Amino acid sequence: MKYCKTLSLIAAMLSIIIGLSTCSEPEKPKPEITQLIPSEGTVGASVTVVGKNFASATKVIFGIVESSIAAKTDTEIVTVVPAGLTPGILTVTVVSDGGTSQGVNFQVLASQPEIVSIDPEKGSSGMEITLKGKYLSTASSVTFGTISVSDILSKNETEVKVNVPDGLEPGAIDITITSEGGTSEAATFTVVGKPAISSITPAIGPAGKKVTIVGIYFEETSQVFFGNGEADFTIINATQLEAVVPATASTGKVKVVTPGGTALSNVDFIVKDGPTITTFTPASGIVNAVVTINGTNFDAGGIEVKFGTGKATTVTVVNATQLTAKVPATAVTGKITVTTLAGSATSATNFTVIGSPAVTGFAPASGNIGTEVTITGTNFVNVSAIKFNATTVAAGSYTIVSPTQIKAKVPSSATTGKISVTSTAGTGSSTSNFTVVVPPTITSFSPANGAQGSSVIITGNNFSNITAVHFNGIDVGNANFTVNSASQITAKVPATATWGKITVVNALGTATSINDFYVTPFVTSINPISGPTGTTVTVTGTNLNSAKVKFNTTQVSPLTNTATSITVNVPSGVTGAINVTVVNSGGTSNAKTFTVAAGPEIEEIIAVQNITEQLLLIKGKNLTGATKVLFGSTEASVATSTSKVVTTFIPASLSLGSYSVKVVTAKGTSNGKSFELVATQPPATGGVSLVNGASASSLPAGYVPPVSNVWDNLFVISEPERFLISESQGGALTVTLQKGDSYVDGTGSFDKTVVDGVVNNYVEFTISGIRYVGVWTPPSGYDAGLGKYCYHHMTLISSESGKQLTLEVKDFECE
């Protein structure tokens, strides 16, 4: 070996001199790998390569990527998994002076992803952002706060592109990336609102115009464009910007750029210069005169024209270079101003407004109603009114002859005074009075009312040469009025007169009274002529306006009322044949006779205190055909009804308290009697066995109940109670109560007369100081052989407690 080295040295020295070597070294051993510890790992992980012949090793290669050597011996090399590798299996080799080792498999594991930066750092939903970092090639999702997005647009080892999801609240949030290597640490991303433009004001104008842009999420606006021109702007707040239309602006959408995106206006901003005025004609005019204005840019919208400070209300844009406007009533002499949405222009010269009319004279100086008067003066243009003193001349009664002359007729009711002329420019009045020859006037009349044919004295003025007198348009005729003097007329009320104004007429005009003359009402008929209280009666006649109707002295307001007809209800409290009259401002009419049929009347309620659903007996007069019983406003059905007695059941719906009980029949509604609904039925103290609850229904047609009999109390079984009832003369009763071996006597009365075809079903008696009042109820057990009922029934009510007593008698012939 030493020999070889010596030769090499000599050869090297000789090669310098003669450039020739005559000796070479023996071949070096090739490296071998026996094991990788570990056999898998992530980029940057430490790996020990175990083998031999590593002393001259110069590099370790993972796949095609070279890794640095941290330490080595002949049998071990310490290195790291190099950057730039993608996860998967690759071959590791060692390179030395002796060559390249065989390959050994190594599993590259995915590394935990890292986020280095976000571009942009702010954005809104739907925006694309780029996440830059390391180990991103296996990224499977990106999480924004709590919202995970798996729809990744693109990815590689150093970048992930993704859209910002919906549903995020504005503000700073964490973003992480999840890959095969795990989840990255959070990076901060700021969610901002997506801008939107709701309006631009104005939407038209020249360069330099200040425009207000309204919308949302403007607080971080970075740029504003008008078409292609970028504008200077001021952020007022999150919903408003002010921008100046730039010189480079073009007609098109307004665009606002923010970190949250770009917003476009719904409408175009139109770049247009403001108007100019070149000429106008005429140079002067009155109010409402039409003025033609020439210039440029009149078509920008929002047109407004002023004459001095007066704004024109009628403006017509003919085209971009011409418009017309009416001189307004508020116009004053001065410049004309035209304003559009794009700006304003002012005329170089003044427009002169023609002034108010002036009255310099009139002829003749006096006249009666209808006289034509010639009025002279100036500015009689667009005249709107002419007055004689305070009275206006009707539109068809004057003519504008020229701007200096008017012919007008003296209006009716005119009085002496100034003549005035009014136009849209103002009012001018004469300096002297026009004297009106006065027509007749009525100051009063007496009496204020009266019948047809009666005389009326009319007082007033200028009654000379009266040709006619009218009562509400009805002519009295020449024979029926007398002119007593220039201030008094006597006239008769015509046979067909109706109430209204009085008028008198002469050649100078017509006078009309201020007040109405009221003609006395006249009744021709009433229909029907009889009926019970409550009956609707129609009264026919003349002059029945605004009337009341009297039934004797009882005054009633009508249901309906015209001049010829009244409907009214017959009031309660009147009976028999009564006088019906009509009363109004004209006085009291003649009378017609109406006969009032007797109506229902309640005399007594048995009992006056009770509980709900108990039988109640109502005693009175004219109760036949009762249709219902009223407890205040609560209706109850009728159980039985005769002229003298109505029975009903106390409604279950009543509340505790006092009620006025009334009976309603076809002839009207009765008077009311007091009844009190109590929670507990009053006690019974008479010694008779009573029971709650009983039935009551009307007797069969033609059935007349018996009286004298032995009546059993069906409620008592253990110790029978019997009532020995005997009929006496004149409807009187004698009654004996037998209870065991004791007897108690009592007295009473009954009524089974027939009224209106119905039996007066009524019986009452008193025992031990307690009164029992009741009715016979339908019989039962009809025996066809005998042709009679075998059982007769009676229901009585204690006037003390309201409880019932049910009695029955059996005909002995049925046994």
Per-residue pLDDT at 462: 87
> Where does 196-271 sit in CATH, by number?
2.60.40.10
Q: Alpha-carbon distance 281 to 7, whole Å?
A: 125
With contact defined as beta carbons under 8 Å apart, do 190 and 121 qualify? Answer: yes
Give the pLDDT confidence of 351-364 residue by residue, as tens digits: 988 878 899 999 99
Domain range 522-597, its CATH number among 2.60.40.10, 3.30.428.10, 3.40.50.150, 3.90.1150.10:
2.60.40.10
> Where does 358-437 sit in CATH, by number?
2.60.40.10
With contact defined as beta carbons under 8 Å apart, do 560 and 567 qualify? Answer: yes
Give the pLDDT confidence of 765-787 residue by residue, as tens digits: 999 999 999 999 999 998 888 88
Number of C-beta neighbours around residue 364 at 10 A = 11
With contact defined as beta carbons under 8 Å apart, do 638 and 648 qualify? Answer: yes
Is cis: bond before 282, omega within 30 of 0? yes
Record: fold of 114-191: Immunoglobulin-like (2.60.40)
Largest CA distance in the chain: 188
Please, how many CA atoms are within 13 Å of residue 162, restricted to the half-sphere of its CB?
Answer: 26
Six token digits for residue 335: 């410049």
Task: Using the structure block, give the residue that is written with the tokens 């100019």.
Answer: 276
To the question of domain 32-109 being in CATH 2.60.40.10, the answer is: yes
With contact defined as beta carbons under 8 Å apart, do 498 and 543 qualify? Answer: yes
Number of C-beta neighbours around residue 720 at 10 A = 13
Per-residue pLDDT at 2: 37
Q: State the pairing for strand pair 343-353/284-285.
A: parallel
Q: Alpha-carbon distance 13 to 199, whole Å?
A: 94
Q: Alpha-carbon distance 255 to 213, whole Å?
A: 10
Per-residue pLDDT at 19: 43
Q: Alpha-carbon distance 84 to 135, whole Å?
A: 9
**SS3 for 369?**
coil
Task: Using the structure block, give the residue that is written with the tokens 């410049």.
Answer: 335
Q: Alpha-carbon distance 631 to 625, whole Å?
A: 18
DSSP state of 479: G
To the question of domain 709-814 being in CATH 2.40.128, the answer is: yes
Q: Which residues contact 17 (CB under 8 A, 6 or more apart)?
A: none
Q: Which residues contact 253 (CB under 8 A, 6 or more apart)?
A: 227, 264, 265, 267, 268, 269
Q: Alpha-carbon distance 649 to 618, whole Å?
A: 11
Say how far residue 483 (Cα) sits from the centre of its chain.
Answer: 65
Q: Which residues contact 235 (CB under 8 A, 6 or more apart)?
A: 218, 219, 221, 241
pLDDT < 70 stretches in the chain: 1-26, 717
Task: Using the structure block, give the residue that is written with the tokens 């590259």.
Answer: 108
To the question of domain 441-519 being in CATH 3.30.300.30, the answer is: no
Task: Using the structure block, give the residue that is written with the tokens 């024979």.
Answer: 479
> Domain segments of the chain: what residues?
1-27, 32-109, 114-191, 196-271, 276-353, 358-437, 441-519, 522-597, 709-814
DSSP 259-283: TTEEEEEEEEEEE-PPPEEEEEE-S
Q: What share of the chain is helix, strand, coil (3-state, %, to 5)?
A: 5, 55, 40
Q: Is the pTM of this model over 0.85?
A: no
Q: Which CATH class is domain 276-353?
A: mainly beta
Same fold, 276-353 and 522-597: yes
